[in-house]
């Protein structure tokens, strides 16, 4: 894949999809790295008791994986000048070795006069969107 430039990108271009597997072990590793040890991310009984469908992935873990679609595409994490996400549904992670797969993608939705590119980001789990109004603003070279 070549690094995108303003002259090589068009509205409607699709970014390569990335499928990411989340397991309970991933949640434990993320909790340790982030310091987010909220019990709903590892204890089934508590997650169910508070009305969740089961243990759920950390929202920030999902958000972090979503932006990877953009940073892989532009080949420069520092090119992202804005990133916004709205969480719409949790990613439920079962207590097994297979985990679950979330598919992330992106689509160029605007090329702005200031030389930035808006990318709408998608995140799909079990055929349902888990992020809404998720977008990044990227500055690439001319």
pLDDT in tens, 132-141: 999 999 998 8
Residues 45-68: pLDDT tens digits?
999 999 999 999 999 999 999 999
For 98, the domain range is 6-22+57-139
> Which CATH number characterizes residue 87's domain?
3.10.129.10
Helix ranges, 10-130 (H): 24-34, 44-49, 59-74
Q: Per the domain annotation, does 131 fall within a domain?
A: yes
| 82: Cα within 13 Å, side-chain hemisphere | 10
Question: What domain count does the chain have?
Answer: 1
pTM: 0.92
**Cβ–Cβ contacts within 10 Å for residue 34, how many?**
13
Q: Per the domain annotation, does 42 fall within a domain?
A: no
> What values do phi and psi take at 138, rounded to 5?
-125, 135
Q: Per the domain annotation, does 28 fall within a domain?
A: no
Distance CA 85, CA 139 (A): 18
Q: Per the domain annotation, does 40 fall within a domain?
A: no
Tokens matching residue 95: 């207590």
Q: Per the domain annotation, does 33 fall within a domain?
A: no
């Amino acid at each position: 894949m070549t690094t995108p430039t303003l002259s090589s990108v068009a509205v409607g271009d699709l970014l390569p999809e990335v499928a990411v597997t989340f397991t309970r072990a991933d949640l434990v590793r993320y909790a340790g790295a982030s310091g987010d040890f909220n019990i709903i991310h590892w204890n089934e009984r508590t997650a169910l008791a508070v009305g969740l469908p089961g243990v759920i992935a950390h929202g920030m873990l999902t958000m972090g994986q979503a932006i990877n679609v953009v940073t892989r595409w532009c080949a420069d994490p520092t090119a992202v000048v804005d990133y916004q996400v709205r969480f719409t549904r949790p990613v439920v992670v079962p207590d097994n070795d297979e985990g679950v797969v979330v598919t992330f993608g992106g689509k160029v939705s605007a090329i702005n006069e200031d030389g930035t590119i808006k990318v709408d980001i998608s995140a799909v789990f079990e055929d349902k969107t888990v992020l809404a109004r998720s977008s990044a603003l990227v500055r690439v070279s001319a």
